[in-house]
Amino acid sequence: MVQVSLSQPSTIGSQVLTPSPVIYVIIRDMRAEVGVKYFIHSISGKMNLMVWGRLCWFSNPETMFPMANILHVVLSNTLNTVPDHAHFLCQDFESAIRLAAEPPLADVIETIWIGGGTQVYKDALNHPWCDLVYLTDIMADFDCDVFFPEFDKGLFKLQERFPDVPSGVQEENGVKYKFQVFKKETGNGV
């Protein structure tokens, strides 16, 4: 599954600001925390794995950690040690997925969440386990230089209503937004 917070048009931040598991992709804007707040409140009591690209990981404020019931994986080709507050270090997306799918984590991980960046989102959106995109459409423009990748809206269909997801336009701190859920069509009518 993918959870995304996008300001217009499809921006996710600025580099200046610093049985099998299901994949959620979390796309967030550093200045618009509504998507992150929703994500944190939607985590069940089970253990989850959250996959981050190195730059996204280091852009998070220290106050964001720890997160209950979440094991963090940082992807990097350059780091040699696991960063502070992270639990694992992997070189690529597939290694992180294998980590979650094989013992001992396979028995405890319920959901895989994606924290970014752009290439990590692309990898997740193209992975067969990704079946939902949770998108927070932020109705405002921000000066951003990092963008969420296009995803196939023919494959992922917008849902009119989805359990436990607020509908309609919301507002927080003067910023309007709405939650949208896109579900992958399986081709068999499900």
Check whether 28 has a pLDDT greater than 50: no
Q: Side chain identity at 5, as an amino acid letter?
A: S
C-alpha span between 162 and 164 (Å, rounded): 6
Residue 64 pLDDT > 90, yes or no? no
In the chain, % helix, strand, coil (3-state, to 5) comes to 20, 35, 45
**pLDDT at residue 83 is higher than 90:** yes
Place of tokens 């290694």: 95
Residue 36: the pLDDT is 54
- Taking 70 as the threshold, does the pLDDT of residue 45 lie above it? no
- pTM for the structure as a whole: 0.77
Of 79 and 50, the structure prediction assigns the larger pLDDT to: 79
Q: Are strands 132-141 and 175-184 parallel, antiparallel or unpaired?
A: antiparallel
Q: Is-contact 89 82, C-beta < 8 A?
A: yes
The phi-psi region of residue 73 (left if phi > 0; otherwise alpha if psi is between -120 and 50; otherwise beta) is beta
Distance CA 17, CA 36 (A): 16
User: Sign of torsion, CA 79 1 21 40?
Assistant: positive
Specify the CATH number for 2-184; select among 3.40.430.10, 3.30.10.20, 3.40.50.1820, 3.40.710.10.
3.40.430.10
